[in-house]
Amino acid sequence: MKAKHQRLVLAVAALVGVAGAGVLAASALRDEAAYFRTPVEIADGKAAVGEAMRLGGMVAAGSIERQRDGLTIRFVATDGKASVPVEYTGIVPDLFGEESGMVADGRMRADGTFVADRILAKHDERYMPPQMGEMPKNMKAPTA
Amino acid sequence: MHAYANPTRFLAIARPLTPWLLCLGLLLVLAGAWAGLTQVPGDYKQGETARILYVHVPSAWLGMGGWTSLAIAGLVQLVWRHPLSGIAARAIAVPGMLFTALCLATGSIWGKPTWGTWWEWDGRMTSMLVLLFLYAGFIALTNGDEGQRQGGSLSRGAAIYALVGAINIPIINRSVVWWNSLHQGPSITLRGSSIDNALLWPLGLTLLGFSLLFGAIVLMRMRRIIADNRVAARLRRLADDEGTMA
């Protein structure tokens, strides 16, 4: 019985130690392991001009402007606290749209515009049938 | 608890239980797949691609649940030295890795049309890939030493590896909360679900179905390991007898 208890105490102590180290490492990584930066972080001056980075945020309502060449778009990325104008030339994913999340790879230009060379759409955690949300234009009503 | 740690008692329960788990699991997975593909509407934004969640979410939970039970088995083996815990850990590793791989594959297939990329090194995806590698490491560490070790128990190193690897489970779970990630936040939490009920119910069927299948695979593998051990023990005895006769 005694040896068994000793092993249990040892195992639990080791586990607590390793878990503590894991949590410490994870929280230390909080900034490094972030997949993208937010507009408010850029407003705080955390992004140098020309430094390669990712910007994530919501596409502000009514902000998407298609340029004359048909390929370049400009929009405003916002996180509710700050916003950054973004410019991108290329094809965006189907789910990219206003009032929905996106992540852009690129760099800040000196004039404060984020120039993206790739855009990903970010999906949120809500799933619902079409009749509950607004109908997307590219989807037909379910027949069932 | 001790009563069921006996392989003979375990087999008496596992033998009749296996076909039930297998058949019921298959039935539920088929029903869930049918419901998910034909009976519910697509998502308001993603359309039809959202239906992959009926496979992706159970796979993710079983991949993580698999390692959690593997770590518990490792702890039981280290502390109580139950003969069945090592066998259980060995049995869990393969379906656990299978479901983790399934989760990564379905996630990637969903990511391309939704996000616009097959793979990104964000916190959720990276930590899930680490889980896949942890399973591969555990299988490599334990594969083939069942015969040498008493009753299929784990080596101390393998049991500790199982425990230490468990650190990754809360990291996977919290990765979308702690860090900005491309993967969306949790849809289903203790406070409720942000998947509408109209889309949610087939997930219950596939979740239960895949879990039963997982259980059936574990029982089958445990029975196989026990049978292998008995064959090995009998062969050893025979060899000893011949040795004494000669």
| Residue type at B96 in one-letter notation | G
| Cα A15 to Cα A65: distance, rounded to the nearest angstrom | 54
* φ, ψ (nearest 5 deg) of residue A77: -95, 135
> Is B6 among the domain residues?
no
> Is B79 among the domain residues?
yes
| Residue type at B239 in one-letter notation | A
What tens digit of pLDDT does each residue of B24-43 get? 999 999 999 999 999 888 88
**Do B91 and B227 touch, CB atoms closer than 8 A?**
no
DSSP state of A85: E
Sketch the domain layout of chain A as residue ranges. Answer: 1-33, 39-122
* φ, ψ (nearest 5 deg) of residue A117: -110, 0
Whether the per-residue pLDDT at A129 is higher than 90: the answer is: no
User: B179, A127: Cβ pair inside 8 Å?
Assistant: no
Q: Does A74 touch chain B (CB under 8 A)?
A: no
pTM of the model: 0.86
> Is B15 among the domain residues?
no
> Is B14 among the domain residues?
no
Q: What is the DSSP code string of B189-229? A: ETTEESB-HHHHHHHHHHHHHHHHHHHHHHHHHHHHHHHHH
Which residue is closest to B117 within chain A, CA to CA? A120
Which residue is closest to A27 within chain B, CA to CA? B178
pLDDT of residue A67: 86
> Is B241 among the domain residues?
yes
User: A35, B41: Cβ pair inside 8 Å?
Assistant: no
> Is B3 among the domain residues?
no
Residues of A in contact with B42 (CB under 8 A): 129-130, 139, 142
Q: Does B123 touch chain A (CB under 8 A)?
A: yes
pLDDT of residue B122: 86
> Is B48 among the domain residues?
yes
> Is B12 among the domain residues?
no
CB neighbour list of residue B161: distance below 8 Å, 6 or more residues apart = B74, B137, B138, B141
Domain membership of residue B110 as a residue range: 20-245
CB neighbour list of residue A109: distance below 8 Å, 6 or more residues apart = A49, A115
Count of structural domains within chain B: 1
What tens digit of pLDDT does each residue of A112-125 get? 899 999 999 988 88
| Cα B154 to Cα B77: distance, rounded to the nearest angstrom | 7
Q: Does B41 touch chain A (CB under 8 A)?
A: yes
What tens digit of pLDDT does each residue of B57-97 get? 999 999 999 999 999 999 998 888 888 999 999 999 999 99
How close are the terminal C-alpha atoms of chain B, in Å? Answer: 44
Q: Domain A39-122, CATH 2.40.50.140 — does that match?
A: yes
* φ, ψ (nearest 5 deg) of residue B6: -85, 125
CA–CA–CA angle B183, B189, B192 (5° rounding): 125
User: A129, B196: Cβ pair inside 8 Å?
Assistant: yes
Helix ranges (DSSP H) in A1-144: 2-28, 39-43
Q: Does B43 touch chain A (CB under 8 A)?
A: yes
Instruction: Tell me the mean pLDDT in the region A36-64.
Output: 86
| Residue type at A32 in one-letter notation | E
Which residue stretches of chain B have pLDDT < 50?
Answer: none
pLDDT category of residue A136 using cuts at 50, 70 and 90: very low
Long-range contacts of B131-136, Cβ-Cβ distance < 8 Å, separation of 24 or more = B131/B63, B131/B64, B131/B67, B131/B100, B131/B168, B131/B169, B131/B172, B132/B63, B132/B97, B132/B100, B132/B101, B132/B104, B134/B67, B134/B165, B134/B168, B135/B66, B135/B67, B135/B93, B135/B96, B135/B97, B135/B100, B136/B97
| Residue type at B79 in one-letter notation | V
| Cα B159 to Cα A10: distance, rounded to the nearest angstrom | 13
Q: Nearest Cβ partner of A123 from B79, B114, B121? A: B114
| Cα B14 to Cα B37: distance, rounded to the nearest angstrom | 33
| Cα B215 to Cα B18: distance, rounded to the nearest angstrom | 8
